[in-house]
Structure 1
Amino acid sequence: TSLIEDAKCNFTGVIGLMTDLTKIKNMQDKLKQKENLAILGEMTAVMAHEIKNPLTGIKFGIEYLKTILEDNQDAVESIELILNEIKQLERIARDMTNFARMPNISSEKFNLVQLIEDKIKIHKSEMKEKKININFDKCSDCVNYYGDPYLLSEVFNNLLRNSIESFDNSCNKKNINVEIRFNDDNDTCLIIIKDTGIGIQQENQKKIFIPFFTTKRGGTGLGLPTVQRIVIAHNGALTLNSKLGKGTTFIIELPSIICNE
């Protein structure tokens, strides 16, 4: 800030210079988030390793015990229950490994609209059976995109799965709307997945991206954290809006690495 004086040294005004640090602050926040996720990934990898090592030996031992006790029906049934629990632990360890070993992001041109359409088709029969209506609003400005199609496919598949599982018998309307939109304000591509499901409780919305937090029976709590990690690796952002009894909206914001030729 500088003061303005006239020829007689009287103050006549003030010159002020202001700098918008919003973008810099956002970049710093994203960098800090990436660092935290990297540390968490290393911890998760160690935990997964410590689970898998003894689990392999336990599984072989139980399966051998099953062959010895095959004539004892009660024992075999108990062993089957134990093996099912081991399978659950194996799945948890596998999900932890996948979360920890986030591959390097590839950069290739692909059809973003087609990618999302393919994911919708995969769930089409299940949605038809559950009487869920789905609508896809496409955007001609966001057809061809540069990024990792394999990892982004995992993102859309996971979020669609969450929307499908958000409905219960209390839902009168079962609608899912997927929209791709170009945001002129900050040159980003928005992918919006909105459902009219049961919604998420307010206290859980702050925890939903925390690894291992889950409200689903048998869930590992790594699905949405993995999704968020993939989006952040693309220098994007993932946000959530939800109202209990009204539905949930996930918004993926990706940088405009778009090719329309």
Structure 2
Amino acid sequence: MCNDNTVDKLKNEFHYTLSKFSHEIRNPLTLISSGLQMIASAHPEVQDYKQWDDIMDNLDYVKELLNEFSTFNNAGRINLTSTDTGTYLKTILSSVKPTLDYLDIQLDTDIPDSLPIMMLDQIRIRQMLLNLLKNAWEAVPVPGGKISFSVRLKNPGICIDIRDNGCGISPEQQAEIFQPFFTTKESGTGLGLPVVKQVVEAHDGSISVESAPDHGTVFHIFLG
């Protein structure tokens, strides 16, 4: 059985390997991208070919994938600042509401005015919550989708519940969803929820999920 030191060593080795892998791919990718831009500048007619758009789309996908790797690798590094938690959470939800309104997805919120001032990495927490909200709106029916975001005090911190009426997650998938590279999406990287977990744990918090197929999902996030 692995002790904590062994687990930490394996994690560090994994993150180092992932960082090296991303770096080695990003350099030639930049050269390829620059070369294609030079070709398009010298021969604008190549952009009329459908294959050209396919090539550029695939390049954009690889760049996005590398950005996901970088996000995952750095999710546990946080910069804490004193945060008016209630105002901060309401601001995040306000930024999401126009998208949900456009998609005809109902958003219900319950954020008390009495939430404490907390030490948070505002960029990482925002990233974490937007990731969970995006998963929720991709899971719910449209129209008819519903997402609820509620917060309650839980000494010495807060508990955030994000609930949806979506397709749900099977028990087998629930056992894997926080593992890197596990995904049920055709174009997913499998890094979204692992990033969420890293951010939460970096804040000395915890995350759990309750779900059943066709009965929706709720994520419980504790931040201390």
With normalisation by structure 2, the TM-score equals: 0.86
> Which of 49, 53, 58 is matched with 1:80 structurally?
53
CA distance in 1, matches of 2:194, 2:23: 19
1:161 and 1:31 mapped to 2: Cα distance? 35
Q: Unmatched 5+ residue regions in structure 2? A: none
What does residue 159 of structure 1 align with?
132
1:143 paired to 2:116:
yes
1:11 paired residue number? none
Partner of 1:92: 65
State the Cα deviation string for residues 208-229 of structure 1 (Å, max 9, x = none).
1112222223222222111111
Match of 1:234 in 2: 203
Kindly indicate whether residue 78 of structure 2 is the aligned counterpart of residue 105 of structure 1.
yes
Match of 1:254 in 2: 223
Match for residue 145 of structure 2 among 174, 184, 199: 174
Looking at structure 2, the residues matched to 130 and 228 of structure 1 have their Cα atoms a distance apart, in angstroms, of 27
Q: Which sits farther off after the overlay, 61-70 or 200-209? A: 61-70
Offset of residue 103 of structure 1: 6.5
Residues 175-204 of structure 1 deviation map (CA, whole Å, 9 limit, x = unaligned): 2111111235xx442111111111123322
Q: Counterpart of 1:44 in 2: which secondary structure?
A: helix
Distance 2:104 2:46 in 1: 45
Letter in 1 for 2:21: M
Q: Which ranges of structure 1 fall in alignment gaps of 5 or more residues?
A: 1-27, 256-261
Give distance in 2, aligned partners of 1:241 and 1:166. Answer: 14
After superposition, what is the alpha-carbon deviation per residue over 1:23-77, rounded to whole angstroms, capped at 9, x for unaligned?
xxxxx99988766544432222112112212212222233334445544676x32
TM-score by length of 1: 0.75
Deviation, 1:232, is: 0.8
Cα deviation for residue 140 of structure 1 reads 4.8
Other-structure match for 1:211: 180
Alignment of 1:122 with 2:91, yes or no, is no
Tell me, in whole angstroms, the C-alpha distance in 1 between the residues paired with 2:180 and 2:22. Answer: 13
Task: Confirm or deny: 8 A CA contact 1:168 1:197 kept in the other structure.
Answer: yes
Sort the Cα spacing of 1:238 and 1:37 in 2 relative to 1 into closer, same or farther, 3 A. farther
Question: Within 5 Å, which residues of 2 pair with 1:61-80?
Answer: 61-67=35-41, 69-71=43-45, 76-80=49-53
Residues of 1 paired with 2:45 and 2:121: CA distance? Answer: 53
Residue matched to 1:6:
none
Give the greater-gyration-radius structure (CA). Answer: 1
- Whichever structure has more helix as a proportion of its residues is 2
Percent identity, aligned pairs only, is 26
Secondary structure in structure 2 of the residue aligned to 1:89? helix
Give the 3 Å change call, closer, same or farther, for CA 83–157 of structure 1 in structure 2. Answer: same
Segment drifting more, 110-119 vs 53-62: 53-62
Letter in 2 for 1:174: G
> Aligned to 1:142, what secondary structure does the other structure show?
coil
Q: Which amino acid aligns with 2:55?
A: I
Q: State the number of aligned residues.
A: 223
CA contact (8 A) 1:183 1:189 kept: yes
- The two structures, once aligned, show a CA RMSD in angstroms of 2.6
